[in-house]
Amino acid sequence: MAAKTVAREEKRPRSFYALALFFALFVVFLYGPVVTILTLSFQGPSGGLTFPMNGFSFYWFERLWGGGGTVDIGTAFRRSFALGLTVMVLTVVISVSAGLAFRKKFFGSTALFYVAIASLIVPSIVVSLGIALEFRIVDDVLRPALASIGLVSPRGNSLGLFTSGLGAHLSWTLPFGLLIMFAVFNRLDKSYEEAARDLGASNWQSFRYVILPMIAPFLIGIALFGFTLSWDEIARSSQTMGSTNTLPLELAALTTTVTTPEIYALGTSVTAVSFTVIFGTLAAFFLLQRRRRRRAMTED
Amino acid sequence: MDAPARTGASNAEKGASRATDKQRTSWTAWWVAYAQAAPMALVFLLFFILPLLATFVVSFWNYTEYSIEPAFVTTNYQDVFYGCVARLPGLCTTFATYLSTLKFVAIVWAATLAIGFTIAYFLAFHVRTLPMQIALFMVCTIPFWTSNVIRMISWIPLLGRNGLVNEILLSVGLISSPLEWLLYSDFAVALALVHLYTLFMVVPIFNSMMRIDRSLIEAAYDGGASGWQTLTNVIIPLVKPGILIGSIFVVTIVTGDYLTIGIMGGQQIASVGKVIQTQINFLQFPIAAANAIVLLAVVLLTIWGMLRLVDIRKEL
């Protein structure tokens, strides 16, 4: 391997430079627009939706968060954050559990796999409508029965953030979680578990002390997917949140009504949260890796 | 991670693991796997299977201006396909909508495939060290973690009537009045879709490329193949599964999209998803459900066709 690398090091083919240029342009294409609105969200009070910048200020952020703006952002923000964290935890736990199940043989494993893939691929508007209809039917059928024995109030509906909303988000994040678990377990040598077995570890012990430490870095990846997919999710949320609105839903509604940089300020705020979470988790990942490597070295 | 060595080993491992499966189950109770799979199965049952069934059932219901009622009528489907046969060779609303969507699917698929393949090829074969590959790959994936809506509206200051592109073209003197077709147009929709979803092509193609045994490529060169011949005769056949997975993602996402087409098209361009959403807003659930079932059938047929060409599970 090393010899090959050295041999290749000698000259770069001309195509390398063409492709490198293409890659650079692609990165500009990916980041350019987002950088534009990040910049424009700091417009001065008299600035508009496009360049030039009329000064530099936090005016639009103050307007957005001061409550003087068009929507109640604070509430939607807290709501989305709480939902995102819940989805994150559930996605990790359920995906790992299912991942372990797929390491063994069980009846219906193929069906479950295809259902997960289907949940990823079926258009979100269809799933969203379906969940809304399901909850309406359940309300029509079950609520009178439950109300008669005094469990719930006879009126109202069950659609909400932590009922249908949570379910809709899980139907979107779990396929990603499961696919990552597949990728992880396909590359995980089974002899480690068998060694643990041979040394007398119970099922739980071999999971807790052998498998879990090995897959931990990838669980961070699943957590990251869980949170950010939920935090930004909009198509499946559209019909399933009941009377509440998540942050992306507010944002999408604003695109048709707001004509000031306030919407860019909101966009910047949402992106800031995403990036904080991503880089925070990545930092945790690298710290974990380094600590583990150091521990491995001292034990040697 | 030593990709080439790993590819060789993983197939052997798969064979070996299959052989040891029987032994392993002997020290795990049979119900454990079911208990572990149950939470996921339950979520999909409650929030995916039953909702689809509910949609199917409701698509045969009746509705008035005020309410929806259980029934078994096919009027909703008749409404969806109203005039589709009678007006031939002209297009009914539904066919015209699907045709418009198909146009976006074709454009976006071709563009994301061309860009995605090139980017993946560069990362996999021209970037030499693994840390560099990971770093550049991360650079490509980070925008994926931000909101789609934000990535859409971020085109407004660039493409708008007074946007950056028009300003520059005007000041250079290439055009004398601002271009109107840059924003809220077919062009804007296609551009935004490519911007949003190229990553879905890059990831699976890159994954396939990293699994190619490098000695195959060396062998091709040693055998006297040119770079182009190696690409078309060795690399492309080997990354076909990655291409297909990426294509499935892009095609199905664009088919069911309504947000991008709505926002970037200035709410003026039709799409199936948008039709469904409008009907939901008017509380016409049964016809919305009928439209959803038709859309579902179209998507599933497309995937079925594509899946016949590749077994996804082997590729992870």
What is the residue extent of each domain of chain A? 76-299
| Mean of pLDDT values over B67-84 | 82
Report the mean per-residue pLDDT for chain B: 83
Query: For residue B141, what is the nearest residue in chain A, using CA coordinates?
Result: A30
B11 touches chain A (CB under 8 A): no
Q: What is the pLDDT of residue A141?
A: 80
Residue A284: phi and psi, rounded to 5, are: -60, -40
The answer for residues whose C-beta is within 8 angstroms of residue A85's C-beta and 6 or more apart is A227
pLDDT above 90 for B212: no
| Mean of pLDDT values over A176-193 | 87
SS3 B158: helix
pLDDT above 60 for B26: no
Query: For residue A121, what is the nearest residue in chain B, using CA coordinates?
Result: B252
Chain A partners within 8 Å of B44 (Cβ):
112, 115-116, 119, 171, 174
Site from A121, A157, A188, A263 to mutate, B interface, most B CB atoms within 10 angstroms: A121
| Mean of pLDDT values over B228-244 | 87
The answer for residues whose C-beta is within 8 angstroms of residue B259's C-beta and 6 or more apart is A234, A235, A252, B148, B149, B152, B273
ipTM: 0.86
Which domains does chain B show, CATH number per domain?
3-8+91-315 (1.10.3720.10)
Q: Closest to A190 (Cβ–Cβ): which among B17, B34, B160?
A: B17
Give dist(CA A146, CA A50) in Å, integer: 55
Q: What is the tens place of the pLDDT at every residue in A84-105?
A: 999 999 999 999 999 999 888 8
Q: What is the tens place of the pLDDT at every residue in A12-33?
A: 777 888 899 999 999 999 888 8
B155 touches chain A (CB under 8 A): yes
SS3 A151: coil
Closest CA to B214 of B54, B70, B2: B2
User: What is the least distance, in Å, from the CA of B63 to any CA of chain A?
Assistant: 14
| Mean of pLDDT values over A230-247 | 86
Bridge-based pairing of strands B62-63 and B68-69 is antiparallel
| A/B interface, count of CB pairs below 8 Å | 276
Is there a contact between B37 and A98 (Cβ–Cβ < 8 Å)? yes
Chain B partners within 8 Å of A1 (Cβ):
2, 5
Q: What is the pLDDT of residue A130?
A: 94
B226 touches chain A (CB under 8 A): no
Give Dmax (Cα) for chain A. Answer: 82
Q: What is the pLDDT of residue A129?
A: 93
In chain B, positions 88-127, which contact chain A (CB-CB < 8 Å)? 115, 118-119, 121-123, 126
Query: For residue A131, what is the nearest residue in chain B, using CA coordinates?
Result: B51
Chain A partners within 8 Å of B183 (Cβ):
none
Query: For residue B6, what is the nearest residue in chain A, using CA coordinates?
Result: A187
pLDDT band at B27 (very low <50, low <70, confident <90, very high): low
pLDDT band at B22 (very low <50, low <70, confident <90, very high): very low
B103: tokens are 């146009």
For residues B81 and B54, the model is more confident at: B54
Q: What is the tens place of the pLDDT at every residue in A208-222?
A: 888 888 888 788 888
Q: What is the pLDDT of residue B110?
A: 95
pLDDT band at B211 (very low <50, low <70, confident <90, very high): confident
User: What is the least distance, in Å, from the CA of B37 to any CA of chain A?
Assistant: 4
Contact A274 B145 (CB under 8 A): yes
Which of A135-149, B6-20, B166-180, B209-223 comes out lowest in average pLDDT? B6-20
> What is the enclosing helix (H) or strand (E) of A21?
helix A14-40
Q: What is the tens place of the pLDDT at every residue in B125-160?
A: 888 888 888 888 888 888 877 788 888 888 888 888
For residues B94 and A95, the model is more confident at: A95
Candidate CATH numbers 1.10.3720.10, 1.20.1090.10, 3.30.70.20, 1.10.260.40; the one for domain A76-299: 1.10.3720.10
Q: Closest to A15 (Cβ–Cβ): which among B43, B227, B263?
A: B227
Is there a contact between B289 and B298 (Cβ–Cβ < 8 Å)? no
Chain A partners within 8 Å of B152 (Cβ):
255
